[in-house]
Amino acid sequence: MNPSSINWLAVVAATIAFYAIGALWYSPVFFAKAWMKELNINPDTIKKPNMLKIMSLTFLLTFIIVTNLAFFVSSPETTAGTGALYGFLTGFGWVAMAMILTALYESRTWRYMAINGGYMAVGFTIAGLILGAWK
């Protein structure tokens, strides 16, 4: 796990991809309505958050997530396929399961868990694929 073995351009590209997947995932095109329904959010009556702050922090946190993944997939032997596999195993096996574990105690629905866990599994898989492919 040597920082000099990490392709930082690949980290930035994977961060942008993961971030873009989230923007689509939680948009009206995909799961925004279902996600808001599961949280009992009414977009007409909810207090409007500072979206610049949220989106900036989201990008920073996504960069940290992808950087951490890069430490695990930066080996020269890692390919696009193994990167995607490691990303999926991380996103599904660690992150989504941890989120579901917490959501069970919060009495969240399975639909809510699938939406959030699915995003993490897909995002990590694509990030791993980019990191594995771009050496």
No. of helices (H) and no. of strands (E), the chain: 6, 0
Number of domains present in the structure of the chain: 1
Confidence (pLDDT) at 1:
65
Q: What is the mean pLDDT of the chain?
A: 95
Confidence (pLDDT) at 2:
74
CB 74, CB 2: distance < 8 Å: yes
Global pTM value: 0.94
Q: Which domain holds residue 108?
A: 3-133
What is the per-residue pLDDT across 6-58, written as a single tens digit (0 to 9) for each? Answer: 999 999 999 999 999 999 999 999 999 999 999 999 888 888 889 999 999 99
Measuring CA to CA, which residue among 40, 54, 131, 55 is closest to residue 91? 131
